[in-house]
Structure 1
Amino acid sequence: MTAGMVIIGAGECGTRAAFALREAGYDGTIALVGAEPHLPYERPPLSKEAMTSDAPSIKAIADAERLAGHRIDLKGATTATSIDRANRSVRLADGSDLAYDKLLIATGSVPRQLPLPGLGSRSAYLRTFDDALRIRRHLREGVRIAIIGGGFIGLELAASARKLGAAVTVIEAQPRILTRGVPGEIAEVVHDTHVAEGVDIVCGDGIASIDDDGETVRIALASGRSIDADLAVIGIGAVPVTMLAETAGLALNNGISVDARLRTSDPDIFAAGDCCSFPLAIYGGRRVRLEAWRSAQELGGLAARNMLGAEEAHACVPWFWSDQYGLTLQIAGLPDEGERTIRRDLDDGAFILFHLKEDGRLVAASGIGPDNAVARDIRLAEMLIGKMARPDPEALTSPSVKLKSLLAA
Structure 2
Amino acid sequence: MTPPKHIWSGGWQEESEEDARLRAEAEAARRAQAEAAAAAAPGREAEGVRTPRRTSRGRIAGVATVGLLAVGGGAFAAGALLDGNGNDGPANPAALPAVASKPITPTRGQTRAGTIYAQASPAVVSIRTATGSGTGFLIDDQGTLVTNDHVVDTDRTVTVKFGTDGRNIRGVVRGVDPSSDLAVVHIDPSQAPADAKPLQFADSTGVQVGDVAIAIGNPFGLDRTVTEGIVSSLGRTLQAPNGFQIDDVIQTDAAINPGNSGGPLLDDGGRVIGVNSQIATSVGGSGNVGIGFAVPSNTVRQVLPGLKQGRSVSHAWLGVTIDSNPARITTPGASIASLNTNGPAESAGVQVGDLVTAVDGQPVSDASALSTAINRKAPGDHITLTVERNGSKTDIDVQLKARPAKTP
Q: TM-score by structure 1 length? A: 0.25
Q: Higher helix share goes to which structure?
A: 1
Which fold has the larger relative contact order, with Cα–Cα distance below 8 Å and residues 6 or more apart in sequence? 2
